[in-house]
Structure 1
Amino acid sequence: MLYTLLRPLLFKLDPEFAHRITFSALENAKKLRLFKSTPIACQPRTIMGLDFPNPVGLAAGLDKDGEHLDALAALGFGFLEIGTVTPRPQPGNPPPRIFRVPQANAVINRLGFNNQGVDRLIENIQRSGYQGILGINIGKNFDTPLEKATDDYLTGLRKVYRYASYVTVNISSPNTQNLRQLQAADALDQLLGQLKSEQIKLTQAHGKYVPIVIKIAPDLESAQIESIAALLMEHQIDGVIATNTTISRLGIEHLPVAQESGGLSGAPLTQRATAVIQQLHYLLQGAVPIIGVGGIMSVDDAQNKLRAGASLIQLYTGLIYHGPDLVRKIAQAICTDQSQHSLAY
C-alpha cells in the first residue's frame, strides 16, 4: 500500500534517479527491520541440483553490481540473480536510456550492460551477508569483437564460479550491438561447447558443480527455438531462461515513447514470453529446466508461466509497477495452488 502511494511521485522522477531512491529506501527499511529477513518457504523445489525455498526470483538487471543483496533478500525472494556483469567496467549507453510506458505497464531500456565490472561485483558479494541461492548473469563488453565474445564469457565464468549458485550466460540483450547473433546455431554450438568444457575444469578445481543457464530472446522464430533447444540438450546445459526483453512494439505502436530503441519489458511481453516457454517445454521434455521471466505483473501471470512449463519464475518490471509486495503475493498464491507441485531435475 505504501508503494502505491509513492509510485506517482517516483514516476515523476527520472527513471534511473528513481531507481537509486527506491534502493536507498529499501536499504533503510532493511536496517529498520520493516521486512522479514527470510525467504517465504512455500512450494520448495529442487532444480539444477539447487534447493529453492520458493520459485519466485529476482531477474537480472535490477541489481547489476550486487550492491543490495541483503535488502532484496528481505523481500521474500526464493533466489536472486544479479548482473549482467562484464569482465571490465563500462558505462553503458548514453542517457536517456530508460523510458516508462505507464499506459501499457511497460518499460523500454537501452542501458547496454552498464556495470562496475566483475571484480567489483565479487567484492560486493563478499561484503554481503546473503546466504541464499545466487545467480550471476555474465555478458561481454561492448567493445569486444563478436568473434572474441567467448573469451569474455569464459573470463566471467571463471571469476564468478566460486561465488555463484548458478551462472547465466546472457546472449539475448538487444542493447549490445550484434549480441543476439550468438543465438545462431553455429555460434551457439561453439559457445556452449567451450562453456561446458570450462565448467568441467572449474568443477574439478573448486570441488563444486555450478550450473550454467542460457538466457534467450523472445523474438526468435520457431525454427530458431528448435535449434536452441537441441543444442541445450546436446551440450547438457543446466537450464534456460525465457525470456529477455523484446524489440517488438506490437500493441503499443501508438504510445508516445514506443519508438525509442531498446528492449521492451512488462505487460506487452507477457504472452510472447509465455509462448516461448510453452514451445521450449514441448521440445525439451523435462531434459532442461526453464526459468520463466517476461511480463509477470500479477499472480495470474506467474501461475500461467508455471503452467506453461517453467519450473521457476523471475520478476523485474512487475516490481516497478506494483512494488515489492508483489513477491509475497505471488509466492503465497503459488503456495496455496495445489496444481503447482514441486519439480526436480
Structure 2
Amino acid sequence: MSITERLGLAALRALDPETAHGLALKALCLGLAPLPGMVTSPRLKTRLAGLELANPVGLAAGFDKNAVALHPLARSGFGFVEVGAATPRPQAGNPRPRLFRLTEDRAVINRFGFNNEGMEAIAARLAKRPKDAVIGLNLGANKDSADRAQDFVEVLQCCATHLDFATVNVSSPNTEKLRDLQGKAALTALLTGVMNARDALSRPIPVFLKIAPDLDAAGLADIAEAAAETRIDAIIATNTTLNRDGLTSAHRGEAGGLSGAPLFERSTRVLAQLSAITEGRIPLIGVGGIASAEDAYAKITAGASAVQLYSALVYEGLTLAARIARGLDTLLARDGFASVAEAVGTRRGDWT
C-alpha cells in the first residue's frame, strides 16, 4: 500500500463510516483513487460457471449498491465485480447510523436493509457498463413486498440484459424474515421461479445463491439439495453473521450482520462442509474475512473456485484486490499448481 493510499484511508476512517463509504465511491468515480488495472496470468485465469475470469478475486455485493462506479471498479484489480443488492422499488433501508467499524476486531457491522435506488435506475447504469469486465448483480426483495420470491424474478428480468451473472440473496440478516427463505421448501420454490425466468431470457446467464454462515449441518444439506434440484450455477458462502463471539470493539453489540476478520474461520468451515456435501458438483465462491493472499488461498484450498471480499477494503484500501491476486499467483506457483482449479479443495480436510 502506498503512502498516499494510507493517508487517504486514515482520512476516511476519521469520518462517519457511511459518509466515508460514499466519499470513497465519489473518489473512484472522479479518478482520485488508485486503479491498479487488471491482474492476470495463465495461472490466475479461472473459469467459473461458464464465466472466464482474469483472476479469481471478486468484489462482493454491497460496496457499490447502485452500480455508480462500474468503470473504475473494472480497473481495480478484481477478476469480477458484483453490485447491488437491487430491489424492484427504491427503498431507503434502515435508519442511520447503520454501519459500524470494529477497528480492534478488523471487522464491520452493517444493518443497511437493502437501501438502493431500485432496479430501473440500476439497470440504466448497467446498460453503460464496461464491456471487458465480468459484472453481476445481487438480487434483493423489498422489505414490504407481498411476494418476495417474485421480487427476485422481477429484478432479474429487468437487469439481466446487462449482466454476466446474478445472485439470489436470501441471507441478509437485515430484512425481516428474509433468511426464512433458506428452508428447503421455500428455497426450492424461490429458486425454481428464478431459474425458470433465467431460462426464458434471450441470453440466459449464470445464477448464484448466497447463503448465511449461521446454518447447521442439516441446513447446509437442505441448501445443497435445493441447489442441485434447481440447477443453480454456483453458491456463494457466505454472507454476514449474527454471531458475536470473541469481539472486543465498542460497537460489538450493534444489531446487524458482522463481516471481516472474525468471520473468516466460521465462513471457511461452512464452505468446506458445503464442498464435501456437494462433492464438487456445484462451484463455490468463498467469502468472509479475506484480507490477504493467504486468506484467499485458504478459501480456495477449502473448496472455493473463486473468492470475494469487501470489508477488508476499509482497512487495506482498494489496491488490496490486486495485491491478493498477485500473492495468489505466487502461492499457487510455490505449491506446484498450474491453475486455480488444480488447488480447489486440496486442503478441505483441514476445515471439516
Normalized against structure 1, the TM-score is what? 0.93
Determine helix, strand or coil for the equivalent of 1:190. Answer: helix
Determine helix, strand or coil for the equivalent of 2:109. Answer: strand
1:322 aligns with 2:316: yes
The two structures, once aligned, show a CA RMSD in angstroms of 1.7
Partner of 1:291 in structure 2? 285
Q: Aligned AA for 1:257?
A: H
Structure-to-structure mapping, 1:103-142, within 5 angstroms:
103-142=104-143
How far is the alpha carbon of 1:3 from its aligned partner?
Answer: 2.3
Determine helix, strand or coil for the equivalent of 1:57. Answer: strand
1:21 to 20, 23, 44: 23
How far is the alpha carbon of 1:199 from its aligned partner?
Answer: 1.8
Q: Aligned AA for 1:201?
A: A
CA distance in 2 between partners of 1:128 and 1:197 (Å): 26
User: Would you say how many aligned residue pairs link Structure 1 and Structure 2?
Assistant: 336
Unaligned runs of 5+ in 2: 345-352
Whether the 8 Å CA contact 1:40–1:77 is kept in 2: the answer is: no
Partner of 2:230 in structure 1? 235
How far is the alpha carbon of 1:196 from its aligned partner?
Answer: 1.9
1:343 aligns with 2:341: yes
Partner of 2:75 in structure 1? 74
Q: Aligned AA for 1:28?
A: L
2:257 to 253, 256, 263: 263
Normalized against structure 2, the TM-score is what? 0.91
CA distance in 1 between partners of 2:74 and 2:135 (Å): 10
241-250 or 187-196, larger mean C-alpha shift: 187-196
Q: Aligned AA for 1:174?
A: P
Determine helix, strand or coil for the equivalent of 2:161. Answer: coil
Partner of 2:347 in structure 1? none
Partner of 2:246 in structure 1? 251
Determine helix, strand or coil for the equivalent of 1:174. Answer: coil
How far is the alpha carbon of 1:261 from its aligned partner?
Answer: 0.3
Whether the 8 Å CA contact 2:38–2:79 is kept in 1: the answer is: no
How far is the alpha carbon of 1:9 from its aligned partner?
Answer: 2.1
CA distance in 1 between partners of 2:179 and 2:38 (Å): 37
Structure 1 runs (4+) greater than 6 angstroms displaced = none
> Residue by residue, what CA displacement relative to the aligned partner does 1:115-156 show, whole Å, maximum 9, x if unpaired?
0001111111223435311111101001013xx111101101
Determine helix, strand or coil for the equivalent of 1:264. Answer: strand
Percent identity, aligned pairs only, is 41
> Residue by residue, what CA displacement relative to the aligned partner does 1:158-177 show, whole Å, maximum 9, x if unpaired?
11211111110000000000
Q: Aligned AA for 1:244?
A: N
Whether the 8 Å CA contact 1:73–1:130 is kept in 2: the answer is: no
Structure-to-structure mapping, 1:118-267, within 5 angstroms:
118-145=119-146, 148-202=147-201, 206=202, 208-252=203-247, 254-267=248-261
Partner of 2:296 in structure 1? 302
CA distance in 2 between partners of 1:61 and 1:178 (Å): 20
Determine helix, strand or coil for the equivalent of 2:341. Answer: coil
CA distance in 1 between partners of 2:272 and 2:59 (Å): 21
CA distance change for structure 1 residues 9 and 101 in 2, over 3 Å: closer, same or farther? same
